[in-house]
Amino acid sequence: MLNNISRENGHSVTNEGTQPPPLHRGDAQAAGKSIPCDSAECPEHAVSWIDFRFLCVGHLVSHCYDRLEEYERAGSTHRTEHDAKTQTDSKFLEDCAAKIATLLITHTNLENIDRARLLDILLWANELERKRRPPQFPF
């Protein structure tokens, strides 16, 4: 059962967390609207949805770098697979990689520096996800 939770800036978020509000290029453009970035005082338009926030390219890059650095620092502590923080971090790594890959494919007008940063985030998230998994034996 999905219930919408309304937020101050007019966006709605589902309480399930897995289904973000529609942020499809066609939906916003067809309605003649754009979705603003959720970061305070940011005049840019959102390009993606992650961690329950709509973010522009600059804030998405910053947010992902912050979360990946946090994950890497915490990586030295051993946790169980059932640990809530481990599951949240794992979900973020998967979500981050998928959102960045989609953004790189669908937004052809990105500046080269933004594209390079997004590729760096994609590679880093995949590397951390690979390290998180137990080793697989070839036999």
Residue 13 DSSP SS3:
strand
Q: State if pTM tops 0.85.
A: no
The pLDDT, as a whole number, for residue 138 is: 67
Contacting residues for 109 by C-beta, under 8 A, at least 6 apart: none
Rounded to whole angstroms, how far apart are CA atoms 121 and 128?
10
Q: Which of 50, 28, 29 minimizes the C-alpha distance to 38?
A: 50
pLDDT category of residue 126 using cuts at 50, 70 and 90: very high
Residue 135 has pLDDT above 90, yes or no: no
The model's pLDDT over 85-107, given as tens digits with 9 standing for 90+, comes to 677 778 899 999 999 999 999 99
Q: Are 55 and 46 in contact (CB under 8 A)?
A: yes
For residues 38-64, give the mean pLDDT: 94
Nearest to 44 by CA among 120, 117, 114: 114
Beta strands 12-14; 48-50: pairing state: unpaired
